[in-house]
Amino acid sequence: MRNTNEKYGKVAIIIHWVMALMIIALVFIGFSLDDIEKPLKFTIIGLHKATGTLVLVLGLFRWYWMISNDSPAPIEGMSKADIGISHATKWILMLALIGMPMSGIIMSMFAGHGINMYGLFEISPMLEKNIDNAKFFGSLHELGAYAISGIIGLHVLAALKHHFINKDNVLRRMLGR
């Protein structure tokens, strides 16, 4: 379950891939919202908000798991630059996993909207309605979507570089092999 010096544990691997799929779906849906007609658009926005809130909860758990577990040692032969970039990317992604959902939640609440969690319960708006603040956090959320898309793209390219060019075990470790 826990990470070892050689590999990631099942919890870290499952959280990584579940969150990766959720975030890719959220970014794709977020960028597609302008092309969707009402009333379907409102349903999809509701699912986007609920899933984003779930990403925040999982992101906080992942952060806890990351700081309470040792990370596997760097792959033998990795340069100090690659190790530094790896650590920086990991922390930037972790900040994005918290910041993106937070900006969306705050935007929604300043707009006077709650978050319906898949019909199970509702998170009521906890902020006084303020459209200017909602627009500000909406802009942050949109900029964050572009930023996280770029970061994820670089993360994927780096994993593929390690797998196909360096022929090391970086990608295999996150696949549980």
What residue ranges define each of the domains in the chain, with the CATH number in brackets?
10-174 (1.20.950)
Lowest mean pLDDT among 19-23, 74-78, 132-136, 164-168: 74-78
Query: What tokens does 121 get?
Result: 């319960």
DSSP tag of 165 = I
Q: Tell me the Cα Rg of the chain.
A: 18
6 has a pLDDT exceeding 90: no
pLDDT in tens, 39-71: 999 999 999 999 999 999 999 999 999 999 988
Q: Quick count: other Cβ atoms within 10 Å of Cβ 52? A: 23
DSSP 26-57: HHHHHHHGGGSPTTHHHHHHHHHHHHHHHHHH
Looking up tokens 């970039």, which residue turns up?
85
The pLDDT of residue 21 is 97
